Amino acid sequence: MGGVSAGPLQPLERIPRDLVAAADYERAARAHVDDNAWAYLQGGAADELSVHDNAAAFRRLRLLPQPLNAVGHGQTQVELFGETYAHPLVLAPVAYQRLFHAEGELATVQGAGALDAAMTVSTLATTTLEAIAAQARAPLWFQLYWQGSREASLALLRRAEAAGYKVLVLTVDAAVAGVRNREQRADFQLPAGIVPVNVDPAAALLPPGRDVFAGPMAQAPGWDDVAWLVRESRLPVVLKGLLHPLDARRAMDAGVHGIVVSNHGGRTLDTAAAPLEVIAAIRTVVGAGYPLLLDGGIRRGSDVFKAIALGATAVMIGRPYIHALATAGALGVAHLLRLLREELEITMALCGCPSLAEISDAYLLNPPE
């Protein structure tokens, strides 16, 4: 029967019984998101090998449980940058969240607060930093895209500081968009009213073109800018987007307070290493106690366990919470976080690990060298 599509479904007001894992939310979200926004969310660079490798790296790694260990007093608390959290799940920065739900970042921050999860607010948020902060019940982190100059970047940092944000996350792996990245397709457009309200919209989107080195890369930050930002910031500074162990050492030398090991969800450089494949080597470089977060490929609680076993202090969740946001708004975000935390607790219990500090590669079969 012919006819015009009715368009995306409205978000659910209650969680149905068949939404029991992150994968269920991904399937459900498709009915709540239009083609334009779905391509933006799901897409990756080039052939999207890194998008798939991020998750596949976790599937290849097998657990080696010790089921008779005493875990009766287990817990999942973690300390990050002076704050204690109930669990190691941090919401990664995702731009333009009103593409996926009418309330956008306001719904996300409500869902995060219900589960004591830090939310990292994107430079390209569709809600003001101050309005998000007014709704926050858990610490907020601010993700900064370098604004082409120290002056413009500092202005955003000062706004975040004044609004009460607790951590500054400088993303360094996306100065130029990936080749054939779906978000750069000619037919992708931000709908009317969906704009990055905290920056100049005209400056937020890099223009297409082939003059990479004299164009966007000429305005990208360098190590001297990182050291300057550390000196200027009143917040702990974290670098997001490092994969190379030598860069981890340079970050420490620059005074950076933590690192997010990430390949930008496979959205910028295809065939870049999966974060899980390199985090153990980076942990070796930075030593015990230095905050390392893993971003990319987390889809279940056992993935969180594996990331921590290889050296992560905590993890960032990206696409899965946007699937939940699109499906059921703040309720979906909170439910997705609860599912992941419960899966982590079950994995810890069955493996014989009562705390995050006791998770190690001893619980993995053939861990990477």
* CA contacts within 13 A on the Cβ side of 77: 7
Contact 300, 21 (CB under 8 A): yes
Report CA torsion sign: 297, 245, 264, 124. Answer: positive
Helix or strand holding residue 331 (H, E): helix 319-351
**SS3 for 115-139, per residue?**
CCCCEEECCCCCCCHHHHHHHCCCC
Structure tokens at 179: 């080749």
In whole angstroms, what is the distance from residue 16 CA to residue 2 CA? 30
Q: How many CB atoms lie within 10 A of CB 282?
A: 26
Active site residue: 87, 101, 264, 335, which one? 264
Burial label, 338 (beta-carbon count in 10 A; 0-12, 13-18, 19+): middle
Q: Is 257 a catalytic residue?
A: no
Contact 350, 128 (CB under 8 A): no
Helix (H, G, I), strand (E, B) or coil at 338: helix
* CA contacts within 13 A on the Cβ side of 268: 16
* Number of continuous H segments (helices) and E segments (strands) in the chain: 12, 12
Strands 364-365 and 314-317: unpaired
- As a whole number of Å, the CA-based R_g of the chain is 20
Supply angle C-alpha 174, 79, 254, rounded to 5: 45
In whole angstroms, what is the distance from residue 109 CA to residue 169 CA? 17
Contact 141, 119 (CB under 8 A): yes
In whole angstroms, what is the distance from residue 33 CA to residue 288 CA? 42
Give me the active site residues, please. Answer: 264
